[in-house]
Amino acid sequence: MRRSRLAAYTAPKKEIGRPVYLAVSALVAVSLFGLWSLLAYGGFVRPVFLPTPAEVLRAGIDGIRDGSLFVNTAFSVGEILAGFILASILAIPLGILMGSFKIIEAAIEPVTNFVRYLPVSALIPLLILWLGIGIEEKIAVIFIGTLFQQIILIADVSRSVSSDLLDVSYTLGANRRAVVTQVLVPATLPGVFDTLRVTLGWAWTYLVVAELVAANKGLGYFILSSMRGLFTDRIFLGIMMIGLLGLATDQLFKALRARLLPWAANA
């Protein structure tokens, strides 16, 4: 006898068909949108708290027309990229070395672990004092917020490279330098990629927090200034923009990983 469909869909860790998968995803997304529409159009929630989808769309069109959406988005993206790239340039080599060389671990692990448990938001007042509320401060917040997390995560990636892989390289004639550059580094690449993908998401959080505390440009500022005028539709627009950018960068990272590291299994 054929097992029922219900049984097939409720078995743990079993594959389901692609159409079913997409249908379920779409159903949930549409339902959430429907719930929002119902609450907003049905008058269940006061408009000042919950804008209708049409209002958010209109706010988006206005934002594009007057340029405010583009300017603030571009500003936030620029800050993120600067802070994130600077942190990554430092964190990738330091993390790889820290995970595989005890002497480097001894040098930087205690400091890293100390800073890592300081929420970067606690440093924002100090950074404002030092750097003001401009782009330098935002870049510093993202840099500090991501750097130490990246170091710890990449060190773990480096640590988990099998020592047999390094040993076999020595028996094939590689010297220490070749083992590091031609074996250890490539072996860490998939894990490094995944770390970057995850920490870029965190970088958004730090940036928005920093912009909510003090800023005169950026998506966080856009949201905060909209709140002061009770423009809930613009608040929604700002939040959605951040969500969409996050989704886009995540997909970009996935595509890039599949393209650059075709030999690695998917994360």
Partner 1 sequence: MAKLRIEDVTLRFAPRGGKPVWALDRISLDVADQEFAVIVGPSGCGKSSLLRLVAGLLEPTAGLITLDGSAITGPGRDRGMVFQSYTLFPWLNVRENIEFGLKIAGLPASERARIARHFISEVGLDGFETVYPRHLSGGMMQRVALARALANDPAILLMDEPFGALDSQTRSLMQELLLTVWEHAHKTVLFITHDIDEAILLGDRVHVMTARPGRIKERIEIGIGRPRSVDVLTSADFIAIKRRIMALIYEEAVRAME
Enumerate residues 26-45 that contact partner 1 by CB under 8 A. none
Provide, rounded to whole angstroms, the least separation between the CB of residue 182 and partner 1: 8
Q: Does 265 bind partner 1 (CB under 8 A)?
A: yes
Output the CA–CA distances (angstroms, integers) from residue 219 to 72, 77, 261, in the order listed. Answer: 5, 9, 33
Q: Per the structure block, which two tokens stand in for 80?
A: 């993120």
| Binding flag, residue 258, partner 1 (CB under 8 A) | no
Report how far residue 208's alpha carbon sits from residue 257's, in angstroms, rounded to the nearest whole number.
Answer: 27
Q: Quote the longest CA-to-CA distance of the chain.
A: 75
Residues 204-243: x where in contact with partner 1 by CB under 8 A, - otherwise, as a string: ----------------------------------------
Total number of residues that touch partner 1 (CB under 8 A): 22
Q: Is 259 one of the binding residues for partner 1 (CB under 8 A)?
A: no
Nearer to partner 1, 145 or 190 (CB): 190
The CB-of-188 to partner 1 minimum distance in angstroms stands at 11
Query: Between residues 15 and 164, which has the closer beta carbon with respect to partner 1?
Result: 164
Q: Which is nearer to partner 1, 131 or 185 (CB)?
A: 185
103 scored as a contact of partner 1 (CB under 8 A) = no
* CA–CA gap between residue 108 and residue 150 (Å, rounded): 13
User: Is 164 in contact with 228 (CB distance < 8 Å)?
Assistant: no
- 3-state SS, residue 88: helix
Stretch that binds partner 1, among 54-62, 75-83, 157-165, 208-216 (CB under 8 A): 157-165
Of 172, 240, 255, 267, which lies in the binding site for partner 1, with binding defined by CB under 8 A?
Answer: 172
Q: Return the closest-CA partner of residue 210 out of 198, 221, 225, 197.
A: 221
Which span sits near partner 1 by CB under 8 A: 77-85, 92-100, 184-192, 198-206? 184-192
What is the Cα 144 distance to its own chain's centre?
A: 15
How far the first Cα of the chain sits from its last, in Å, is 37
Alpha carbon distance 195, 93 (integer Å):
13
10 Å Cβ neighbour count for 62?
Answer: 14
Asked if residue 4 binds partner 1 (CB under 8 A), the reply is no
| Residue listed under structure tokens 């549409």 | 30
Residue 164 in the binding site for partner 1 (CB under 8 A):
yes
Please give the residue ranges that form the binding site for partner 1 (CB under 8 A). 162, 164-165, 167-174, 178, 182-183, 186-187, 189, 261-265
